[in-house]
Amino acid sequence: MYKLLCEQIKSLTQGETDEVAKMANIAAVIHEAMGFWWTGFYRVKNGELILGPFQGPVACMHIPFGKGVCGTAWKQGETIVVPDVELFPGHIACSSESRSEIVVPVWNADGEISAVLDIDSRELATFDDVDKQFLEDIVKYL
Ligand code: SME
């Protein structure tokens, strides 16, 4: 499924230079194909994460550096897979339905993190190394 998704995203993003437009369609394609609960981006702006293009229920709009799963992935500079959000210290619950989560940093050409891709599931332990690997590949199209 991810292999098909990658092909679709590759052709969708080809030739497009606007980052927000790409984020919007990437979030939509992943969300629709995989049936996740929440799929979206937070962008680094003025020293914090600001809500970007997403699919799913309304979400918190500001996340400080090092806070929640998103802010921690940004601080650590690596993907974080959370099998049970209740066991992640400082998890920010935008929705009480969310049970597991993955956050993947998006790197820009200068080697800095410019955004994170955040995906939530209503089931425990939805994400594993396969999700990590393919989602890390997908954000490279940004
Ligand atoms: N759970 C995230 C906050 C964003 S929502 O899941 C959309 C976190 O702990 O950073």
Report which protein residue has its CA nearest ligand 1's atom 1. Answer: 92
d(CA 45, CA 119): 20
What DSSP character marks residue 55?
A: E
Domains: count for the chain: 1
d(CA 110, CA 36): 31
pTM of the model: 0.97
Tell me the residue range of the domain where 38 lies: 2-141
Report the atom number in ligand 1 closest to the C-alpha of 88. Answer: 9
CA–CA–CA angle 54, 15, 106 (5° rounding): 45
75: domain CATH number is: 3.30.450.40
Pocket lining for ligand 1, CB < 6 angstroms: 38, 59-60, 63, 68-70, 91-92, 94, 98, 101, 118, 120
How confident is the model over 55-106, as pLDDT tens digits?
Answer: 999 999 999 999 999 999 999 999 999 999 999 999 999 989 999 999 999 9
